[in-house]
Structure 1
Amino acid sequence: VASQRAIGDHAGKKGVTIGLEALNRFECYLVNTMDDLSEHVDAIDRPHIKAMYDTFHANIEEADPIGAYTRNRRNVVHVHISEND
């Protein structure tokens, strides 16, 4: 969290927003669901650190992908859309 706060501060000075992504468990174990990612973004607490919602990873990890998005949309800055097949 501390390193991502520093990144967020630097991004703000440059006018850039960073979109962190929840990846499926086969690729990463840091955050796998949007609830976990949104909680992480809240802990970072920097306006230039946000979440990116990816339908490919959500299709694997979320029991309710639409609910995962709507519950956490306050932190979503970008959406990746992919077919599930």
Structure 2
Amino acid sequence: MWSRSERQHIQEDLLQAAAGDSITQKTPAIKYIGRRKNVVWLQPTLIAEIEYRAWTDDGKLRHASYKGLREVQDNAVVYEIE
């Protein structure tokens, strides 16, 4: 379940990863059309469990709900969005 403490935990992990510079990238993993400056891109390493009702015609999740982070070792089925 998404909470303030969950957000803080993920933010701390991402800041440590960005400081280590081992997983930073020059370009995003997906197409980015935003206008923000000074963005730090990280190689995707976390696996989030998301529950949803359906995919929309334009490739978005309908009624998506964050359930938590998954451990890499749990051999969960992982779907990548292309």
**TM score, norm. by length of structure 2:** 0.30
**TM score, norm. by length of structure 1:** 0.29
Q: Higher relative contact order by CA 8 Å / sep ≥ 6: 1 or 2? A: 1
- Structure richer in strand, relative to its length: 2
- Structure richer in helix, relative to its length: 1
